[in-house]
Amino acid sequence: MEITNPHTKPVRVGSLEFGGPSFAVIAGPCSIESLEQCSQTADAVKKSGAVMLRGGMFKLRTNPETFQGMGSDAFSIVREVKAKTGLPFVSEITDPRQISDFIGLVDMFQVGSRNMHNYALLKELGQVQTPVMLKRGFSGLISEWLHSAEYLVKHGNPNVVLCERGIRTFETATRNTFDLNAIAFVKQNSHFPVIADPSHATGATSLVTPMALAAAAAGADGLIIEVHPNPAVALSDGFQALTPDLFESLMNRLERVLKALDRPLAKPLT
């Protein structure tokens, strides 16, 4: 690995910064399901301190018979919620041909775990300047993850934020194994900011809060958390979503832990 700069180079997303002194929390639904659901969630997470909105439009699902996301029908919902809340937005891109549609709509592209090795996609995202959140492949070596980041950088886009979201191991009591070692390792051995996704990494609502705090303590620069107004009826991954109340409680505990780590929580936009 050639990337060994011990000093993280922050990546800006509008007025936000990942990898700088403050700690940024992204939150929102796994999938955008309706204007009401998206808007309600965005209002709630903003109130509790989230500074960016997440929400899936094109979903990669193992089983072809399950909900595949609203697709382009979600575009107008996103525009309306962004306008109302002022929150920047991140969403997963699954095909290079979606790039032009996403420009202007997303403030950060998400490359999902299944696409960490999709070099065709990475090469094209290297040609835009919109930041990219690059999730670690669920079986990606740390060295491969950094090489995938280099694909983006080499093709012209240095605005890469890494995201650890759990890896596949023999353990099945949790959905994935949350590799927090990888966060501490990447902070020491690369210049990329790195955030953590405790929702996918645990796959269980009850584990999200302790593991979010653990990720912060391990040195993550931020979090991305799934929140749903009513997880029991979510169209995808409700078993790992926080309710708005649980999210608020998490943010309160997180702020205390961050203070003990001498790190402020990024302030909500005004």
Residues that bind its own copies (CB under 8 A): 60-64, 94-97, 114-115, 117-120, 138-139, 141-144, 147, 150-151, 154, 167-174, 176-185, 187-188, 201-202, 206-207, 210-211, 213-219, 256-257, 259-261
Q: Min. distance of Cβ 170 from its own copies in angstroms?
A: 5
Q: Min. distance of Cβ 196 from its own copies in angstroms?
A: 10
Q: How far apart are the first and last CA of the chain?
A: 40
Q: For residues 103 and 261, which CB has a smaller minimum distance to its own copies in the complex?
A: 261
Q: For residues 39 and 177, which CB has a smaller minimum distance to its own copies in the complex?
A: 177
Q: Min. distance of Cβ 87 from its own copies in angstroms?
A: 27
Q: For residues 46 and 136, which CB has a smaller minimum distance to its own copies in the complex?
A: 136
Pairing state of beta strands 16-18 and 194-196? unpaired
Q: For residues 51 and 183, which CB has a smaller minimum distance to its own copies in the complex?
A: 183
Q: For residues 70 and 218, which CB has a smaller minimum distance to its own copies in the complex?
A: 218
Beta partners for residue 194, in sequence order:
162
Q: Min. distance of Cβ 216 from its own copies in angstroms?
A: 7
**DSSP state string for 10-74:** -EEETTEEESSSSBEEEEE-SB---HHHHHHHHHHHHHHT--EEE-BSS---SSTTS----GGGG
Q: Min. distance of Cβ 88 from its own copies in angstroms?
A: 25
Q: For residues 203 and 229, which CB has a smaller minimum distance to its own copies in the complex?
A: 203
Q: Min. distance of Cβ 152 from its own copies in angstroms?
A: 9
Find out whether 176 and 136 touch, Cβ atoms under 8 Å: no
CB proximity list for 75: less than 8 A, separation 6 or greater: 57, 101, 105
Find out whether 243 and 202 touch, Cβ atoms under 8 Å: no
Q: How many CB atoms lie within 10 A of CB 74?
A: 23
| Residue 186, token pair as written in the block | 């990447």
